[in-house]
Copies of this chain bind each other. A is one copy, B any other.
Amino acid sequence: MFTLEASDDESQARAGTLQTDRGAIQTPVFMPVGTQATVKALQQRELLDIGAQIILGNTYHLYLRPGEEVLAQLGGLHRFMNWPRPILTDSGGFQVFSLQDLRTISEEGVAFASHLDGSRHFFSPESVVAIQRCIGSDIMMVLDECTPYPASRDYARESMERTARWAARSRQAFAETAERYGHRQLLFGIGQGSTYADLRREHMQRLVELDLPGYAIGGLSVGESSDEMYEIVQASTGVMPSDKPRYLMGVGTPLNLLEAIARGVDMFDCVMPTRNARNGQLFTTRGKINLRNQKYRFSDNVIDPEIDSYASRNFSLAYLRHLFKSKEILALQLATQHNVAFYLWLMRTARTKILAGEFRQWMRFFCEKYRAGDSDS
């Protein structure tokens, strides 16, 4: 299912292709986050236009709303939201464990109260597989505990051990159930272990024994430093099989992504391009732009002529700034469109450079230009 096409000589960067029933995914890949069956402020046709190969959905959110009954009756998430390409669904572990006071963990699973109406629910490794069968995502994720940061070594081990047992149960539940809409689904494992490199390695090795079609690094970008993050990524990819896709969950800035690619990661998701867009922050090839900055009041420059999206090339920063100041919806639409297009461009370009054997050189050049740009926030 996963073909490795190139490995960089000067780093651990890889270019590959993951085959799914809804099409091939060329890696490195960024997956825009569509939590509630929509990538916020973007139309599905726009995601296709700017080259999104796969998007994310969220099991926790979709389970609460619209719910399994609606999803099943409308033919699964792809048909519900009219998205023809692959979808990966996060297990909901991150969201449930973020509820803090509203949830109780046991060996069996996790009891929680809905953030919408306080109603009580229970997620087990098995029920989360069942919900994702109903959603019909191409890539399903196992239920895990996203260990809070910082965590004591003892708690990190206890949590990791339970997550490891849950992964085995998830695999079993996956094997005992079938897909519902005629498209094959894949189940990925998630490695935890907080910031302890040995726990990370141990957990990942136990996951690899389950022989899953892909593995993720979870529980990062939760407060640790970039250096800690890179160290854990390195420790994890060091024991991940080279013939399976490697997914770093919830990370991060453009520079985080390139550093992780250099350490052997293939897949990414993050709310940063969409969320920051809605706050008026743009990611461009010449650095970050904060549209609320007074200096753009008269700027006739477009967002970024190097990025091939309608938003990137057709509107002045002065106009974008006016839209943000006026709280216009179009501000969110154009900024999101550009930021997601930028992240997709970054991954496509990284891939091209890996295939051409020029990744390290390009990455150095890109990072210099990005850091030196008219960054102002």
Contact = CB atoms under 8 A, between A and B. Distances in A.
Interface of A: 36-38, 40-45, 65-66, 70, 73-74, 80-82, 297-298, 300, 310, 314-316, 318-319, 322-323, 325-326, 328-330, 332-334
A77 to B, nearest CB: 10
A326 B82 contact: no
A82 B302 CA distance: 11
A329 B333 contact: yes
B319 A43 contact: no
Nearest to A314: B82
B319 A82 contact: yes
A45 B334 CA distance: 12
Nearest to A318: B74
Nearest to A39: B330
B66 A322 contact: yes
A38 B332 CA distance: 12
Contacts of A74: 298, 300, 316, 318-319
Contact of A325 (B38, B65, B82): B65
A80, A310, A325, A326, most chain B CB atoms within 10 A: A326
A-B CB proximity, top 3 nearest: A41-B329, A38-B330, A66-B322
Given A328-B40, A330-B42, A82 B315 contact: yes
Contacts of A314: 44, 82
Given A43-B334, A80-B316, A333-B333, 9 more contacts: A37-B322, A38-B328, A41-B330, A43-B333, A44-B314, A70-B318, A74-B298, A74-B316, A82-B319
A323 B36 CA distance: 8
B36 A326 contact: yes
Contact of A297 (B38, B70, B323, B326): B70
Nearest to A81: B319
A35 B310 CA distance: 22
A326 B332 CA distance: 17
Contact of A65 (B37, B66, B326, B329): B326
Contacts of A318: 66, 70, 74, 80
A65 B45 CA distance: 32
Contacts of A332: 329
A29 B74 CA distance: 38
Contact of A322 (B65, B323, B325, B333): B65
A322 B69 CA distance: 13
A334 B326 CA distance: 21
A333 B334 CA distance: 12
27 contacts: A36-B322, A36-B323, A36-B326, A36-B328, A37-B319, A37-B323, A38-B328, A38-B329, A41-B330, A42-B330, A43-B330, A43-B333, A43-B334, A45-B310, A65-B322, A66-B322, A70-B298, A70-B322, A74-B319, A80-B316, A80-B318, A80-B322, A81-B315, A81-B319, A82-B314, A82-B319, A333-B333
Contact of A329 (B40, B70, B80, B298): B40
A300 B79 CA distance: 10
Given A310-B43, A310-B45, A38 B323 contact: yes
Contacts of A65: 322, 325-326
B333 A73 contact: no
A328 B34 CA distance: 11
A354 to B, nearest CB: 34
Contacts of A82: 314-315, 319
A179 B41 CA distance: 37
Contacts of A300: 74
